[in-house]
Amino acid sequence: MSMHAFDAAIALAPQEAGAWTGATSAAYGNMIGPFGGVTAAQALNAVLQHPELLGEPVAFTANFAAALSDGEFTAHARPARTNRSTQHWVVELRQQGQTMMTATAFTATRRETWGSASESPMPEVPRPGDVPAPNRSGRVEWINRYDMRFIEGGFPAAWDGADHGDSRTRLWVRDQPARPLDFASLTALSDVFFPRIWRRRAKLTPIGTVTMTVYFHASRQQLEAMGTGYLLGQAQAQAFRNGYFDQTAQLWNEAGELLATTHQVVYYKE
């Protein structure tokens, strides 16, 4: 049995304490450098692999300082503070001594409490099997690593530059081939939405994500119970202004449980 491309992509080889060697993956190549979702997953993986890890990820922020060059990088993860049941992490990815990504993570052991996600119910949408898979292959390699079934707000049919007044996208998505969901793949899936400005303006504007935050509402147990089901992803911008726009997104499982909410800021040039 061969390793899934995602597991190969996020694999880290231990160096000295708190440092690992990773490498970019051609399977997740983007226009310039690798797909940011996988780079973020690699940074989180340095925390997940750390022998001092306490608990599970609750929040994670990755800042994209520069596009990784193809090849190896070093990941440094440091538990900046360890409390009784919570831990705060500082992470950096470096190439040739230069910082390529900074990140922080918050991990915790979670207890069962009263809970509710009724304030962000999953929208009513057709089931994954009733939504056709796009029959084209992606213009960049990483797109081919995901099964994306657009329900609303797919890639513009025409790049006409018109202001569509709305940037919302809804899609069913999972790894391709299917792979059991975990915190690393959920992190990458949080970055799977194409740039909101392309959706809003139907114009191939140059863009780059500069920061992404993921809040994990699901426990490891919940993720494991999900297996290889689809996630419903919904993403929308709130503001485009002076070279940067934001994206706010939700990811539910097929049962309608909210697994993660995620936000990012993206640079755009025009």
Point out which residues bind a second copy (CB under 8 A).
Answer: 58-59, 61, 63, 65-66, 80-81, 83, 86, 88, 90, 92, 98-100, 102-104, 106, 108, 110-120, 163, 165-167, 200-201, 210-211, 213, 215, 217-219, 236-244, 246, 248, 250, 258, 261, 263, 265, 267-270
**CA nearest 92: which of 75, 78, 107?**
75
> Closer CB to a second copy, residue 8 or residue 66?
66
- Distance between CA atoms of residues 74 and 112, nearest Å: 37
CB 3, min distance to a second copy, A: 31
Cβ closer to a second copy: 119 or 136? 119
Least Å distance between CB 105 and a second copy? Answer: 9
Least distance to a second copy, CB of residue 115, Å: 4
- Please report, as a single letter, which amino acid is at residue 177: P
Which one, 2 or 118, has the nearer CB to a second copy?
Answer: 118
Residue 232 has phi, psi (to 5 degrees) of -90, 120
Nearer to a second copy, 26 or 204 (CB): 204
Interatomic CA distance for residues 1 and 179, integer angstroms: 13
CB of 235 to a second copy, least distance (A): 11
Cα(158)–Cα(182) distance, rounded to whole angstroms? Answer: 36
**Rounded Cα–Cα distance for residues 145 and 26 (Å):** 11
C-alpha–C-alpha distance, residues 32 and 208, integer Å = 10
